[in-house]
Structure 1
Amino acid sequence: MSQLKPNKTVDVAIIGGGTAGLAAYRAAKEHTSSVVMIEAGPYGTTCARVGCMPSKLLIAAAENAHQYHKSAQFGVNLGKPKIDGFAVMQRVKAERDRFVSFVLESVDGIEAEHKIDGYAEFVDQHHLRVSHSNGDTLIIKAKRIVIASGSRPAYPAAWQALGDRLLINDDIFEWDRLPKSVAVFGPGVIGLELGQALHRLGVKVLMFGVGGAVGPLSDPALTEYANIVYGNEFYLDSDAKVSLIERSEQGVKLRYQDQQGQSVETEVDYLIAATGRRPNTDKLGLDKLNIELDTRGVPVADHYTLQTSVSNIFIAGDASNQIPLLHEAADQGKIAGDNAGRGKNIRAGLRRSPIAAVFSDPQIAMVGESYRDIEQRLGNCGCFEIGSVSFENQGRSRVMLVNQGLAHLYGEQGTGRFLGAEIIGPNAEHLAHLLAWAHQAKMTVSQMLDMPFYHPVIEEGLRTALRDLNAKLHLGPEMIDACMECGVGS
């Protein structure tokens, strides 16, 4: 490859201009001004354009409509809400565009010579070929390279036959009006959030999955609870038997076996594919490199430095196939960019305790190690215990009529250390933050119980679970059935 004549030579080249790429750019610039960021599509983040922000706007509208339905239980009769689908989507798109504009404003502040438009692929470990849509190509020589190419929705190729009746979450946020019916395939984070929101906005929703999983949950008890609580609100079969999916004149025809074993044939306006995302690493020319890949063809990287098996190449964000969340992408981008900018003296970056949330109702949250991970690591020796709380009779939850949910907290025998949690319940996004801080501080369950808890608050549910866990770890007294102050919780 010594015969290659580069059009541009830099210290650091970053492939991708999303959350991880922008973070990597800023971090690398702290060490060198010789940095370029290569982006083929529009600048900006998945979160702002088609992910966390527009989905939360849709969910906010759905929650507002849902409060009308619940109001009569408080003795406040607001009647049935009239949902203006056009107005809902106008606000979603307007606010979405506002969030994206903030990202673009930041990108506009980057010097033009540091931005290159086009698709990048490796020629060798120091050279990238960048192809522009107008047919032009550039050869970029870089001492170090950060892969931050993001991810894209993945679904069965056969579904392409559905044409414009097949949607991914990106497409939903371009709607002008809400459809009458949809089938959502994939009750994961994206499918669950969007499916429930559309249901509450008056769209008929059928949700199908494979294997029984709901959201990110891995604890069998919580998975079972989730199937029941969401299935009581809209049609959910997380282990569905679907025998027909085909394009019809008006939409998509489906044939499936319902949960009573009966064959059902129906038609919906659209099929929404929420069946996961695929890292954008398959078209980078990785076969030109002697680089270690995982089973999905993604470069394996050190957890703390984000350095791959090729010492001058780093990877961050959704492309890394680690945790596809904005805060993780930002952290990884910063670490990868910092190390790429340094060149020498590679440093371990701060990797925070895992935290994830699903903005369904009830919400779902994951903190620290999952049940699946703990069971694999400690299950054979019986070295962990589970503390439990149901929110169905938890004081403040019942007062607010949000009393649905179950939380499991995990602790290590002997050390008493808090290992992680899986939660389905009210305010799970906030409960998860308290637990994530405790996990990152490597607190024991006893130390967590020494923290203040006000009364009456939903957070008291965590104290109940912690007391249950502490007793099972043989580090605290046996649980009591009810507190003396108000008779609920403990």
Structure 2
Amino acid sequence: MADLTCDVAVIGGGTAGLAAERNARKHGATTLLIDPEFAGTTCATVGCMPSKLLIAAARAAHDVRDAATFGIHCDGLRIDGPAVMARVREMRDDFAGSTREGIAKLPDGILVRARARFTSANRLELDDGRAVEARSVVIATGSSPMVPPPFRELGDLLLTNETIFELPDLPESLAVIGGGVIGLELAQAMARLGVRVALFDQKETLAGVRCEAVHETLKSAMARDMALHLGTSPEPSLEDGRVRIDWDGQTDRFHKVLVATGRPPNVRGLNLEATGLALDDHGMPEVNPNTMQCGDAAIFMAGDANGDRPLLHEASDEGAIAGRNAIAYPALVASERVVPFAITFTEPPLVTIGADVCEGAKTGTSDYSRQGRARVDARNVGTVRLHAAAPDGHLIGADLFCPGADHMGHMLALAIQNGMTAGDLLEMPFYHPTLEEGLKSALREICHAVPLRMPGDRDPGNPPGT
């Protein structure tokens, strides 16, 4: 006899786990939410929110430096590193505290503060000695930073996204290992706050950008803020209290190193072998992206734990799908997923939406180096590529690196989700002068490439560069 029983046991109290528990309980299940700390979501504690706080400080510093462009001179700029980091932590703690308050308001008897491991497909062993028996189990254990072996010996000179926000002051210099989303965002933020930054990556492509034209613009923009060393394999060592980095016959020394080489799923210690699931070389089961089911078992995996779409809104959606199917098992409901949508909060933002290109697809381009509103704001850098399927020209994807991309991306995601064509979007009002107007060049190019009606009566012909 198990100490605890329920319909659905959820392992992990982050975004995906909270959504799974909530939806399972909403559909009548008895639930348990198991987590060793209930510290708050990754987003609030070590992810989205503290990184955006650092980026906001960097934006303020950059704007002051660039104010002379407008004839406004701000002499004597001083960046107070301890004050910058103190605000990051203060606001971070407020966001995380709000999340913890929400968790604490869950009904009595749901929260179980412990670590869990499987002893069978429907039975869990807790590290406090108790056992849990559940009709279904949702795994929502998140992910953690991966630190390659050579960097593990750097002691307190090593940083990850889970420790960088605890710095009492900004470092004088920083090597960033990994040019993915986390590495790129934090590298640019630190550079704009006056830190000497060099970014290293074994790949030639930053942030997994899939469009060559967009990547060239991104790389050129990032090179203005930091040294880029792509296609390299940096080797670290300690030297006189700093980190020495050797690569391609070159050497440099840094006060700190941020390792941002990925966040693999937290599945070690779950003893997934006991579930009877077929596991791959990384110890991961096959997960159906539309039901979140692992194999054919009453086990579901959502959020960063499955490594599919490691984004907060996706984790929330996956958690809800997993929670609903955990109570419905074996009568599962396959959910249609929202259009893929990812933002990297560089300046300007980098956005990827939907599909890239497919056979017969048409692509339109907008150049933001000459876009009117971007020039007014002295933010005229960027490239946009919109993708549409032939023969009707309905939009299937977009790649943007331009000012306002994080906001325009939502409009484009809605258009793609609703099956709109380039012509449909051109018939929508574009106020002048706005950043959104810059999309019209790409939309017109698609309309010319496929047999679509050009909405000329609603497109009066704005000045070049709009």
Scaled by the length of structure 1, what TM-score is found? 0.91
Matched residue, 2:187: 195
The SS at the match of 1:366 is strand
* 1:137 is aligned to 2:139: no
Measured against aligned partners, the alpha-carbon deviations of 1:274-330 in whole angstroms (never above 9, x if no partner) come to 111101123211112232445643222222221221331111100011111111101
Distance 1:75 1:295 in 2: 60
Alpha-carbon separation, structure 2, partners of 1:165 and 1:401: 37
Conserved? CA contact 2:423–2:452, under 8 Å: yes
SS of residue in 2 equivalent to 1:152: coil
Partner of 2:275: 289
> Structure 1 stretch 71-80 or stretch 233-242: which is displaced more?
233-242
Pairing partner for 1:335 from 300, 321, 330: 321
CA distance in 2: counterparts of 1:118 and 1:361, whole angstroms: 41
Displacement of 1:72 in angstroms is 0.4
Structure 1 CA distance for aligned equivalents of residues 382 and 281 of structure 2: 36
CA, structure 1 residues 296+448, in 2 after alignment: closer, same or farther (shift >3 Å)? farther
**Unaligned stretches of 5+ residues in structure 1:** 258-262
Map of 2:99 onto structure 1: 103
- What SS does structure 2 have at the residue aligned with 1:475? coil
Counterpart Cα distance in 1 of 2:442 and 2:393: 14
Pair 1:11–1:71, CA change in 2 (3 A): same
1:250 matched residue in structure 2: 241
Structure 2 matches for 1:401-420, cutoff 5 A? Answer: 401-420=378-397
Question: Residue 387 of structure 1: which of 356, 359, 364 is its match?
Answer: 364
Provide Cα deviations, 1:29-71, integer angstroms capped at 9, x if missing partner: 1123521011123431000000000000000001001011110
What amino acid sits opposite 2:87 in the alignment?
R
Following superposition, the deviation at residue 264 of structure 1 comes to: 3.0
Select between 439-448 and 177-186 the one with higher mean Cα deviation. 439-448
C-alpha distance after superposition, 1:61-119 (max 9, x if no partner): 01001011110011111124200011111111000000001101011112342111222
> What's the CA shift string for 1:112-170, capped at 9, x where partnerless?
42111222111111111111xxxx32211100000101011113122111122111011
Q: Which letter does structure 2 place at the counterpart of 1:308?
A: C
CA contact (8 A) 1:30 1:341 kept: no
Partner residue of 1:400 out of 377, 381, 404: 377
Name 2:168's counterpart in structure 1: 176
Which of 276, 283, 305 in structure 2 is aligned with 1:319?
Answer: 305
8 Å CA contact 1:40, 1:118 repeated in 2: yes
Residue matched to 1:475: 452
The residue type paired with residue 97 of structure 1 is D
Task: Indicate whether 1:163 and 2:155 are aligned.
Answer: yes
Task: Judge conservation of contact 2:392–2:452 (CA < 8 Å) in 1.
Answer: no
Equivalences, count: 464
For residue 271 of structure 1, what is the aligned residue in structure 2?
257
Instruction: Specify which of 447, 450, 463 is matched with residue 427 of structure 2.
Output: 450
User: In the TM superposition, what is the alpha-carbon distance from 1:200 to its structure 2 partner?
Assistant: 0.8
Describe the superposition over 1:188-217 as per-residue Cα deviations: whole angstroms up to 9, x where unpaired: 111111111111111111111122111131
**Alpha-carbon distance in structure 2 between the residues aligned to 1:293 and 1:448:** 45
Q: CA deviation at 1:409?
A: 0.7
Q: Are the counterparts in 1 of residues 393 and 446 from structure 2 also a CA contact under 8 Å?
A: no
Contact 1:471 1:478 in 2 (8 A): no
Q: Secondary structure at the match of 1:429?
A: helix
Which of these residues, 289, 295, 301, is aligned with residue 303 of structure 1?
289
Partner of 2:404: 427
Given that 1:69 and 1:80 are in contact with CA atoms closer than 8 Å, whether structure 2 keeps it comes out as no
CA distance in 1, matches of 2:386, 2:278: 36
Amino acid at match of 1:210: Q
Q: Give the counterpart letter for 1:255 in structure 2.
A: D
Distance 1:310 1:127 in 2: 16
Say which SS state the counterpart of residue 56 (structure 1) adopts: helix
Structure 1 counterpart SS, 2:393: coil
Question: What SS does the aligned partner of 1:151 have?
Answer: coil
1:150·1:318 contact (CA, 8 Å) conserved in 2? yes
Unmatched tracts of structure 2, length 5 or more: none
Counterpart contact for 2:277–2:297, Cα < 8 Å: no
Per-residue deviation, residues 349-388 of structure 1 (Å, max 9, x unmatched) = 352111111111121001111x3xx3xxx3xxx4112110
In the alignment, does 2:48 pair up with 1:71? no
**1:221 alignment partner, one of 191, 206, 213:** 213
How far did 1:175 drift?
A: 1.3
Distance in 2 separating the partners of 1:292 and 1:408? 40
* Conserved? CA contact 1:301–1:309, under 8 Å: yes
d(CA) in 2 for partners of 1:80, 1:272: 29
Q: Distance in 2 between matches of 1:328 and 1:353?
A: 10
Aligned-residue sequence identity (percent) comes to: 38
Residue 36 (str. 1) matches residue 10 (str. 2): no
- The answer as to whether partners of 2:150 and 2:236 remain within 8 angstroms in 1 is no
Task: Assess if the C-alpha contact under 8 Å between 2:141 and 2:267 holds in 1.
Answer: yes
Give the aligned residue type for 1:248.
E
Change (3 A) 1:402 1:149: same
Distance 2:242 2:108 in 1: 45
Shift of the 92–444 alpha-carbon distance from structure 1 to 2, 3 Å rule, reads same
Aligned counterparts, 1:21-32, within 5 A: 21-32=17-28
- Amino acid across the alignment from 2:247: Y
Report the Cα distance in structure 2 between the residues aligned to 1:69 and 1:86, rounded to whole angstroms.
Answer: 20
TM-score by length of 2: 0.95
Change (3 A) 1:52 1:17: same
Distance 2:124 2:461 in 1: 69
The residue matched to 1:113 in structure 2 has which SS? coil
Deviations 1:463-485 (A, max 9, x none): 21111122122435699xx9854
